[in-house]
Every structure is written in C-alpha cells, then in structure tokens.
Structure 1
Amino acid sequence: MASARLTPNGVGAALAGDTNLRPIVQVVNLRCVNVDGRGTPRSDRWRGLVSDGAETCPAMFAGQLSDQARSGLIRRGSVVQLDEYVINMVGGRRVIVVLNLTVLLAECDIIGNPVITPESESSNQNNPRVEQFNGARQYGLAAGNPSPTRPNGNVPVFQPSVAGSSLNTPTRLSDKSPVFQPTAQPSYRPAPSYKNQGAIAKNEAPARIIPISSLNPYQGRWAIKGRVTAKGDIRRYHNAKGDGKVFNFDLLDSDGGEIRVACFNAHVDRFYEVVEVGKVYVVSRGNLKPAQRNYNHLNSEWEITLERDSSVDLCPDEDSSIPSQQFNFRPISEIEDTPTGTVLDIIGVAISVSPSTTVQKKNGTETLKRIIGLKDMSGRSVDLTMWGDFCNREGSQLQEMVERGVFPVLGVKTGRVNDFNGKCVGTISSSQLLIDPDLSEAHTLRQWFDGGGRDASTQSISRDHTPAASRNEVRMTIAKIKDEGLGMGDKPDWVTVKASIIFFKSDNFCYTACPTKEGDRQCNKKVTKGTSGLWVCDRCDKEFPECDYRYLLQLQIQDHSGTAWVTAFQETAQELLGCSALDLITYKENGDPRFAEIMLSCLFQDYLLRLKVKEETYSDERRVKNTLVKVERFDPAAESRHLLDLLSRSMASY
C-alpha cells in the first residue's frame, strides 16, 4: 500500500496557532455526526483524529467536506494537506476545524507511532449519544459495514470496557499497538482550562486574528483586523418589536477580504463615535449572519452583528499592508441591464451638475437632492442622484469645477441602481464619492476625455430613455400630447416637453397643511383656522397652533406648437422656484420684493419638463390633467448631444 511523508510536528505547530503552515497529516480516525438527528446526508458532519506520525489531535471537518467523506475520498488512513483551518476551544480542548484540504493519498497504512493523548481520547468520548449514519457506527468503520476494520493487515481492533480503560495511558496506532475503539463511554473529566480568577479568566484570552475570508459560523473565538472603508449614518426604524436604530461600517483587510459590520440600538451608542473611516481596528466577538445581497455587495458571504461582549479596538500603529479602499467599477453601459436595487461601483467624467434642491421624503422629513451627469468610454451616460450631505460636500465642489469648465473624474463607491427616470444611480448612507482619484481607471478616463471623449456622442440611460418602445420619457410637443389623446388610458402617460413657463397663478400657489405624522408619513391634509385661533384638521380631529405650507402651483407652459396648464406639487415646485412654500408666502404677506423676483426669474426660461398625463374626474367633469414631476433647466450643449444621438439612431435604422 502507498505511503507518504507527513509534516514533522505538524499537529503541534497547527495547535500553536500557525495557520500559515499547510501541514500534511494522516486521518487516523473518522466518524459521522448527525447534527440534527435526522440522519440525512445533508445534515451530517464528520469528526475524527489527525496525526503527524507522532502526535494526534481531534479534528472537525466543515460541511463542505462532507461529500468527500461520505464518498470515501476521505477515510481512515487518508493522507491530506490542510489548506485552510482554524483552532477552536471545545470543552476546554483544542480542536482543528478543517475548512479546506487536499487529498494526497486516499488510502495508506498508518504512518509512524501516533499517540492518542488523553485530550484527544476524551474529546472522542465526551458525547454519550450513539452517532450513526446509514445504520452503521462511525468509530473508524466503513459506512454500511458493521464489522470492525483493520488499519493494516496485522493490527487487531482493541475494544476495552470502561473498567479496563485508562484515560491517563497513551495508546499508539502502530504495528504493535491496538486501535482504541470504545464501546462504553467513561465518565467525563474536562482538561484544565483558564481559571475564573487572575488577569485572564475563562473565555477572556485574546482571540487570534484571522483573515476576513476565513470567517465562518463554526468558529468560536475569533478576531479580524481591517481598515474602515465606509461608515453609514444612523438609521431609525420601526417594526413589531418597537423602535430601533442601526448603523453599518465596512472593513477591508490586507488579503482583500471585505465584510460589513452592523450595530443595533445600545451598540450604536457604544461604537458610532469610536469608528472612523480610514482607521484600522481589531474587531472580535460578533455574531455571523448571511450577507443580505440586496444591500451588500462586498465579497464576503457573511455579515457581523456586534453584541454585548463584542469589542472594536483601534490599532495605534498604521498598517500599511491594508489598502485604503477597494473598487470593482462597472461600465455605465452595464447599468442599463442591471436589476433595480443592485449596489455597485461606477466611475465616470462629471459633465453636468444641477443646483441643490430640498425635497420632502415620504416620512415627512426634508433632505437635499442634486443630479450629476456622468459619462464614460462605453458610449453611455447616467444620472447620479446625490442625497443629503453629499450635496453640500462633494456636490458643491463638483458644481464649482464644472462651472469653471473643469470636468473632473468622479468615482462612486457603493451606489444603488434605481429606475425612477430610466436607469439612475443614487447615493446611500455608506456611499463614498472620490473626485479625481489617483486610480488607473481614473487616469484612463482622463486621457480618453481630453483626447476627444469630451465631444464624443453618448446616449443617456437616464433621460430620454425609451426601452421596448415605451411611451415613458418620450419627447413630445404640447400639440402632439393633445392630438394623440394621451392620458385617456387606464395608466398615465409620461412625456418630456421642451417648453417655457409663461405664467404663474400667484394668488393660491400653496395651501395650509396638517403637520401631524402618522407613523413615518405626514398627514398633509388641508387645515382651516377655527374660532379659537388654532388650525383644525378634520381628518386627524386635532388642533395645532402652527401649520405647514405646501405648494399647489398652477403654471402655464408654451412651446412652438401651443400652450398647456400644468400643476406642480411640493417637491417639484420647490425645485423650480428654489425656496420653500413657507418662505415664499412670508415674502408675499410682508410685501418683500423677493416674492416678485423669485416668480419672475422663472418666466420665459426654457426647461425640460417631465409630465404625467392622466385623465381625472372633477365635479362630474372628465378632463386631462398634466402634472409636473421633474424640471431641468435647458442645457444647449446637452440638447445638441441629444439631437445628434437622434440623428445617429435615425441613420442607423436605414
């Protein structure tokens, strides 16, 4: 029978914590453990003993190795190389948890004189339950074969009783020593471990740092060392358990492994101020859960949730082996076919920046919004929607650069794809924006843009995008909307019109609204002032000393084909006028000249207006209503590119 050379002192070195060593060892005992008691192949795990020819140690094989053990590729006598493994403390004893291995010899004689130490022997007997698989005991026996097997041709199988066994006497697996195979379980006596006193107590010894890629649920004590590449804002939520809060941060280690760490409720207060982007930390004692791929695009299949015993310790020495960031940029052309909600990295040249506007979210709170136009060498451009503080930080810097004629390269780490306006990418709390980053992709884009890419024709996947000949986002004239009878169907039609605003109804441009919040949403029902001087909401049946003011703006638009009346509600009207309804009505009531300046500044200006066209019934009269849902100032350069794209597509169709 074939033989092999085992790694001298391989077991001892592995137990000492040298996970960089890939020792060659021999499996001298193997058995199956039914984890859930069903006895199905999907529920089994395998444990046994591994030997370096002199010393043995208990081993537990990860679930992904069960198929090899079940098929017999790994069996008693197999010589294997341990490619990935960790050391766990189980019942006060060190156990090698094998994550990945290479089978060098599937069958081999027992090599050397391996000693079964009392520690190894006890760990094989501390479970009084009889563990079976396919009806056969798995104490080194072949599945389905109830008769004892011999490791070689002349070694008998020794089966002592409890009275005849000695846990303090080593047993050797050699040509002259029997194979220890108990039939009755001795009383359990744990090996010495940490004492509950002194500087280090039980379960308080420093955890060994392992790569992020090696994390798995089979480990007990672990620690990882990584640089914080992103830190999200504190988010509040409400579910069946009540109100809560959470924030996330991402870690990157020297091997390129990434993982997301989540902190909930009390742990937010513990760690939010501790964690800083760019710093290196050692994180230990967390709960591993499968990563949620809808919100997490990091390369780890796990996420960490910090708990009461978790620790996040800052490393005083800066580890230069850990990179500051890791990107996986996608071309803009690929975003066109990417599912909504996908989180990804993109990079492009910023060719346009819209002014920052204030919009109201569904929960009644307000936030900032800004649109950035990006293009790359794929022949496509896309809208990047900035939210919140990004508008004032990177957004203001980008706007200033573009207005000076400098078109910077913008890298986006962790953006989310949405389909609100064709296909767009929006920032989330953990996003990062890098202006002119020192990256090879950025240098390549800069050379392309300066070498002719500035004037290259591109097609937007965000604006004027008409997949499958949809009528959404179709350019039309005002006369054509009426001629084609848009809005008469079951669903609304969406069109884009290039037109000017020629008139505002300035008498009733807003209304008094209820400020009450119902869960995450504001009521916004119209309120009236009662005899007591308080504002009364008939819907909420409450009175308020103050009310909100929300836009209900009626305006008339005109293009070369005709005119039409359009209604603009809160967010869109505020984006158009650039101020809140409360400020504007305050200007009007106080006779402030800013009221007239704001209204007149929007008249007779060209805009790209996105309209929702739908027939509605009002006072038993059916009529088509045009609602303004998005407004953009007319950009002659962008319009020229749009017309060139139309010509190119028209010529290609002939």
Structure 2
Amino acid sequence: MPVSLTPNAIAAINAGDVNLKPLLQVLDIKVIGRSQETPRSQDRYRLLISDGASAQHAMLAVQLNDRVTSRQVDKGSIVQLVDYICSDVKGRKLIVVLNMETIIPHSETIGNPAMSTESDTEGQKLLSAPGNIPPPNRVVFNEPAIQHSVNRAPQRGVNIQNPVDSTPSFRPSVQPSYQPPLSYRNHGPIMKNEAPARIIPIAALNPYQGRWAIKARVTAKGEIRRYNNARGDGKVFSFDLLDSDGGEIRVTCFNAVVDRFYDVTEVGKVYLISKGSLKPAQKNFNHLKNEWEIFLESTSTVELCPDEDGSIPRQQFSFRPISDIENVENNSILDVIGVVTSVNPSVPILRKNGMETHRRILNLKDESGKAVEVTLWGDFCNRDGRQLEEMVDSAFYPVLAVKAGKVSDFSGKSVGTISSTQLFINPDFPEAHKLRNWFDHGGKETASLSISRDALPGGGSRNEIRKSVSQIKEEGLGRSDKPDWVTVKATISFIKTDSFCYTACPLMIGDKQCNKKVTQSGTNRWVCDRCNQESEECDYRYLLQVQIQDHTGLTWVTAFQESGEEIMGCPAKQLYTLKHELQNDEEFAEIVRNRLFHQYMLKLKIKEESYGDEQRVKMTVVKVDKVNYTSESKYLLDLLVRT
C-alpha cells in the first residue's frame, strides 16, 4: 500500500507549526540515559523521524513508552504526530512527541532522507550506514508524490511520456529549514522571541522542552522554611499544582525567588506558570505522583488566571479506607476520610529545636469498621481543631477529609499533619455524603476497632498490655529478639539529678535535627562528630533516670526528651540553667520535689541490651499520661467482672 509522508513536515515543525499533525516514518529508536537505578518504566526513548526528505531526532514522552515496549512503534513504522512541541536544546532543534498514532507498524524506508540542518549531526552516521538508505542510483517515491510531480511537469517542459527516463526532474528537493530573521531595535541588545509559550499538560513536562507554560490550580502551599548548610543560610517554600487533566506537580522556590512568589500564590487560585526548570522530584519530601519538580528562577513568571470554566478541579483525592492504613509503611503520605468521634484538648509541646508548638489528637472512624487517631500539629490545632472540638461538644460529629497526612507507627498506626496537609470539614463531594449517610443511619452505633489506641471496655488500649512491676521481672520481658511494649500504672518515687540531660547537636539533617551528643571545644563552640561541624550553641535534651513503683515492687526506667518533659513539666534547658548557670539549687530542688509521688500511666519499651560483656534489660519510657480515674475505675471494674 503506497504511503504519502507529509512533505516538508520537519522544516514546518522546526519553524513552529504545532498544528500540522504530519505523517512521518520512524527510522531508528534508541534508549538514552539508562542507569541501574532507573526503572524501565522511566526510560527515555529518542527517535529518528523522517518526512522522506529530511530527518530529525525526537524525544518520546514517558507516557508513550508502552508504544515502544509493545512494538506498536518500531523501526520503519509510519506514525502520525498528534501532539508535539519543538524545543531548542543547546542550539539544536529537538521535537518532543506528546501523543501519536501508529498508521503502519512496519514499512520499507521511504525517500532519501538527510539530517535536517536544524538538528544535530549525530544522526548522519545512522543515515549513512549500509541498508538505512536506498542505493545512490535509485530514488524511492510514493505514488501520490510521483503523480504530483508528473502533473506539474508540462509547466516545466518535462516529457511526461517517459517519467522513468526523466527521473532527475522528479527528485524531491529538501526545503531549507526556516530561519527567522533577527530582530533588532534601534537601541539596546538583540531581543529574544517573547511570543507566549504553548500551554501543555503537566503530564507532558520534561527537561527536553525549551519553552513551556502550564495552567494549573494551587492545591497546597507550604510555609517558608529556613535552613543552614555548607553553602550558608537560605529559605525555601513549595506549592502544589493540579491541572485540568489531573496532572500534579510540586513547585519549589529558593531565597530571592521566595520573596517574589510567596505572597503572589494563593491556594485555590489558577495561575499560568512558565520559564521554570525541571529537576527530578525528591521523593523523601514530595509525595506527588510525578517524577519531576519545577524550580522557579529569577526569569520565571507566575500570572493569575480567571477561573472562568471551572475545568480545573479544586482538589484531587485518593482516599484509603482506615482498615488499609494498618498495613501502610511508616512515613507514607496518604488521603483519608472519616467521621470525627472525639477531639482532645490542645496541649503545648516543646519541639526538639526548643520552639514551642501545639498538639491535638482526634479520632476518625469509617465504614471499614476501623478507627484511627489523627494528630494535629501547630496551626491546625487552633485553626481547624477548635472548630472540630466545638462541633463534637455540641453532639454533631463532622466528616473530616485529610489530604496528605503522614502515617506514623508509634503506638499502633496513626495519621499526623505536615506542612502540606490540608483539612476539609464537611466537604461537598460524594465520598463525604456517603459517609454522612452511613453514620446517621446506624454507623454512629457501630463499634469500630482502632488501629491506634482504641478504648476497650475499662478504658484500656487495643495495643496496650497492662503489667505490674513484678510481672515485668517474673515473666522475663525484653529478653526475646523483639522488644516488649507494656503499660504500667506507677508512681515516680525518685529522680536522679546529677546528670539529667545531655548537650545535643542543634543542626538539621534534612528535615530532622541531628541530636547527637556534642562536646565543647577550646573556642567555646560545640563540635558534632556526626555532622563534622561546629555550632555556637547546643541543645539540651533529657536523659532522665527515674525510679518507679507500684503495689508489687519498684524498678528503674529511662526517659528521653519528650517523656522527660512530660515528667518534669519544663524544658531540660530551664533546669540546666537553674542548676549549672544560675546555681539556684533551692528552686531546682523544689521543681524536682514537686514531680515526685505522682501516679502516671507509663508506656514502656523493654529490650535486653549489651553493656560491655554484660546483658541488661533496659526499660525506656515512650509515653507518659496522667491517670484518667474514670477510665481506670471502669478498667478495674471490668477486671472484677471477668474474674
């Protein structure tokens, strides 16, 4: 079957024609940039395409990789480019194919293609290789092309009775690539072409594009974060985008670019964004399903667009049932929706860096028959937490959708807020309406098993194993391969005060504080062997040795930072200052005395460890709660009933 490739298509594409939808032939396919770490699904394929006269390299968008792996597109295939752009990469033209259709899977080479002058010269080797082009004394034509030339021959004085003998008259000529004239002004430097960049889907973005623009809605925006590393101090913030095709991508700004765009971007608004650079997404900090991340630069543009047609969704969710969260890996980011059944008061928490924040815990349940704790941090406690608490206190149980919550495996599985988390109270979408209908028609009375710390009859916890001090020793807890986790109701009877804290490294490693022990150098600076850096100041973290006792006996436990603060009721630095800098022994002793002989619910991690040649069982306090006497009474009553 004769096939007509689109004449001069390569030259037209190089000149900027993106509406041609040409028929072209694939002469070669090559994988580029493959490494052992790169998954095959993320391979980059480079094609050599031809219009019969000219040939040029083209990059295939990742979403079209299956066309190559399934052999729908192969060497010799005739394809139609449906969606494409042409980029200038290091002075060479490169076509990026975003969508195409295979017309004929396999065909002999058509025409006598030569590398386009707009493309690089690497493909000349391929075209000059034996078997890749017809013999020099033979020209391959397709039938419509010959007929077109014959019809025009009489005007040029060519004998049409013997077209074979007149072959030189029909040899197709290669149209030179379009070269736009240089644009000068009377004064000043040469101006670049500032025509608006073509708007493309987020899914089509790749580093091989020269000029692009995306139109998308801001769905989440983080706070400005400051950092310190070997390059010096800096600041950074990010925001997430969603377009009408459902594509998502994160945008990151550093330093001076933060000042330009932080106040400009607003969650819920639609923007036209261009002139940014694409880099691989850092999956440790970016949960979006996109292999790239946009970095805005000094030349980037962010323009507010009117949301006229509403074609871009306000938000995109991928909800997981609460029952699924139980098997999700720690630190995973996910979306969850449920009915809020209880909200705890907001409590102040001292962060590792010495800054105070707030924490509020609430409980969600859904149709899966499971419930989960959701921990709100910082501004979420007051902004959304207070509203939820008021609703629950008034006996109205709202539906809450959590976008981008972080899974924690501390004390079972729970979900916590991070900077990019968004909360939606009683949202207006189908999943929320379905959940509300279920809860109002029987779900409220349905028992749900918590994957966190579900309240069982008597006020216990599903993950809680209650033990007495004597049982810990008698049952040999902590001596197996895995640690034992138990809860003890005990009174604090003694606290060692000679060494109750240690000096810790305040430097950040990624988004976490180092916290390793530091030593003071001769220059009054603090040295960290782990970071191999010096700091002007150090942090003070609890390392408490506490004696606890109940009606069966007594034992020693260790309480680190968070647990130590719960026990002592103040930061470690405050106590250190009183004892070692102000030398106010009286006030220091008063604080310690006031913490003795209070009863707590202590969750312990018990594990045997090696100290030199000796094996010792170490008990670490991982959580401290005041005794809820109502719940404890129910628990004791339940024990009496069962016995």
* Mapping 1:160-239, distance limit 5 Å: 178-180=170-172, 191-193=179-181, 195-197=183-185, 201-239=191-229
| Corresponding position: 1:335 with 2:334 | no
Q: What's the secondary structure of 2:22's corresponding residue?
A: strand
Q: Distance in 2 between matches of 1:583 and 1:346?
A: 40
Residues 288, 303 of structure 1: 8 Å contact kept: yes
CA distance in 2, matches of 1:36, 1:536: 50
2:23 match? 26
Partner SS, residue 430 of structure 1: coil
**Equivalent residue runs for 1:369-448 within 5 Å:** 369-448=359-438
Partner of 2:116: 123
- Helix, strand or coil for the counterpart of 2:276? strand
CA distance in 2, matches of 1:281, 1:443: 30
**2:105 is equivalent to residue 97 of structure 1:** no
Mapped partners of 2:219, 2:323: distance in 1: 26
Q: 2:621 aligns with which of 628, 632, 650?
A: 628
Distance in 1, Cα, partners of 2:14 & 2:539: 70
TM-score (norm 2): 0.71
Residue 606 (structure 2) aligned to one of 610, 613, 616: 613
Go from structure 1 to structure 2 and tell me whether the alpha carbon gap of 1:642 and 1:320 turns closer, same or farther (over 3 Å shift).
farther
Q: SS of the residue aligned with 1:276?
A: coil
Partner Cα distance (2:136, 2:5) in 1: 31
- Structure 1 residue 336: deviation in Å? 1.8
* Pair 153,84 (structure 1): closer, same or farther in 2 beyond 3 Å: closer
Give distance in 2, aligned partners of 1:93 and 1:625: 66
Structure 1 equivalent of residue 478 of structure 2: 487
Aligned to 2:443: 453
Aligned equivalents of 2:382, 2:267: Cα separation in 1: 19
CA positional deviation for 1:230: 0.6
Question: What is aligned with 1:150?
Answer: 140
- Residue 480 of structure 1 aligns to a residue whose secondary structure is helix
Match of 2:160 in 1: none
Alpha-carbon separation, structure 2, partners of 1:370 and 1:222 = 43
Q: Distance in 2 between matches of 1:450 and 1:402?
A: 14
Give the letter aligned to residue 486 of structure 1. Answer: L
Kindly state the Cα deviation for residue 311 of structure 1 after the two structures are TM-superposed.
1.8
Cα–Cα, structure 1 residues 576 and 350, in superposed 2: closer, same or farther, change >3 Å?
A: farther
Distance 1:265 1:254, change over 3 A: same
Q: How large is the RMSD of aligned CA atoms in angstroms?
A: 5.7
Q: Specify which of 292, 307, 312 is matched with residue 322 of structure 1.
A: 312
| Consecutive unaligned residues in structure 1, runs of 5 or more | 157-173, 466-470, 528-534
Q: 1:306 aligns with which of 296, 311, 315?
A: 296
- Separation in 2 of the partners of 1:619 and 1:75? 67
| Other-structure match for 1:344 | 334
C-alpha distance 347-11 of structure 1, shift in aligned 2 (>3 A): farther
CA distance in 1, matches of 2:93, 2:610: 76
Q: Distance in 2 between matches of 1:502 and 1:571?
A: 18
Q: Say whether the 8 Å CA contact 1:196–1:202 is kept in structure 2.
A: no
Amino acid at match of 2:98: L
- The structural deviation recorded for 1:224 is 0.6
Assess, with a 3 A threshold, how the Cα gap between structure 1 residues 440 and 126 changes in structure 2: closer, same or farther: closer
Structure 1's 640 and 37: CA in aligned 2 closer, same or farther, altered over 3 A?
closer
Partner AA of 1:60 in structure 2: A
In structure 1, the residue matched to 2:60 is 62
User: Does structure 1 retain, via aligned residues, the 8 Å contact 2:242–2:248?
Assistant: yes
Change (3 A) 1:37 1:329: closer
Q: Per-residue displacement from partner, 1:523-553 (whole Å, max 9, x unpaired)? A: 78899xxxxxxx999999x999999695848
| Secondary structure at the counterpart of residue 429 of structure 1 | coil
Q: 1:256 aligns with which of 246, 251, 263?
A: 246
After superposition, the Cα gap between the structure-2 partners of 1:545 and 1:272, relative to the gap in structure 1 and judged at 3 Å, is closer
AA of the residue aligned to 2:246: G
Closer/same/farther in 2, CA of residues 437 and 236 from structure 1, 3 Å limit: same
Q: 2:536, 2:92 → 1: CA distance?
A: 68
SS at match of 1:131: helix
Kindly report which structure 2 residues correspond to 1:71-86, keeping only aligned pairs within 5 A, or say none.
78=78, 80-86=79-85
Q: Size of the alignment, in residue pairs?
A: 584
Identify if the C-alpha distance between structure 1 residues 266 and 137 changes in structure 2 by more than 3 Å, giving closer, same or farther: farther
Identity %: 45
Question: Structure 1's 366 and 550: CA in aligned 2 closer, same or farther, altered over 3 A?
Answer: farther
Alpha-carbon displacement from aligned partner over 1:108-165 (angstroms, at most 9, x marks no partner): 8999xx9x9xxx99934654556334982687x37xx898561347989xxxxxxxxx
Using the alignment, how far apart are the partners of 1:589 and 1:279 within structure 2?
A: 58
3-state SS of paired residue (1:438)? coil
- Measure how far apart 1:83 and its partner are: 3.4
CA distance in 1, matches of 2:266, 2:572: 38
**How far is the alpha carbon of 1:333 from its aligned partner?**
1.3
Please state how far the C-alpha of 1:448 moved relative to its aligned partner. 1.9
How far residue 33 of structure 1 moved from its aligned partner, in angstroms, is 8.1
Q: Which runs of 5+ in 2 are unaligned?
A: 35-42, 147-165, 456-461, 579-583
2:471 is matched by which residue type in structure 1? K
> CA distance change for structure 1 residues 366 and 615 in 2, over 3 Å: closer, same or farther?
farther
Q: Does the C-alpha gap of structure 1 residues 483 and 526 become closer, same or farther in structure 2, counting only changes over 3 Å?
A: farther
Q: Alpha-carbon deviation of 1:369?
A: 3.0
Q: 1:523 to 1:326 in 2, by over 3 A?
A: closer
Distance in 1 between the 2:536 and 2:287 partners?
46
